[in-house]
């Protein structure tokens, strides 16, 4: 059993309020949870309007599945948000 952990740092330059940011974050987290059955949350920069940091974790049976899942999630995030991906980190524990 392995744990796949990912962190995304996104930049949304059009966001001018925390309310706008919350709508984007909630939508993306809900989509990730529904589609991939992972745990996801905003983990940093909660008070910054244009920076979004999302952490994702999933329990997987083996590292090959972890790699596959993380690649799918990465492509999904890039395709389903207008925010620019500034940084992405992946870890298998």
List, for residues 19-29, the tens digit of each pLDDT value.
999 999 999 99
Supply the pTM of this predicted model: 0.89
Mean pLDDT of 41-55: 91
Q: What's the DSSP call for residue 47?
A: T
pLDDT score for 11: 95
Q: What is the dihedral of CA 17, 19, 22, 24, to 10 degrees?
A: -70
Decide if domain 2-92 falls under CATH 3.30.70.1120. yes
Of 91, 92, 85, nearest in space to 54 by CA? 85
Mean pLDDT (the chain, rounded): 93
Confidence of residue 65 (pLDDT cuts 50, 70, 90): very high
Query: How far apart (Å, rounded) are the C-alpha atoms in residues 5 and 70?
Result: 8
């Amino acid at each position: 059993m392995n744990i796949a952990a990912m962190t995304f740092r996104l930049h949304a330059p059009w966001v001018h309020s925390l309310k706008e940011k919350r709508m984007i974050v909630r939508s993306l987290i809900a989509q990730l949870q529904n589609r991939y059955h992972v745990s996801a949350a905003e983990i940093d920069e909660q008070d910054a309007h244009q920076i979004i940091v999302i952490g994702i974790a999933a329990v997987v049976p083996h590292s090959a599945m972890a790699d596959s899942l993380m690649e799918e999630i990465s492509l999904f995030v890039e395709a389903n948000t207008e925010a620019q991906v500034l940084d992405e980190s992946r870890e298998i524990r």
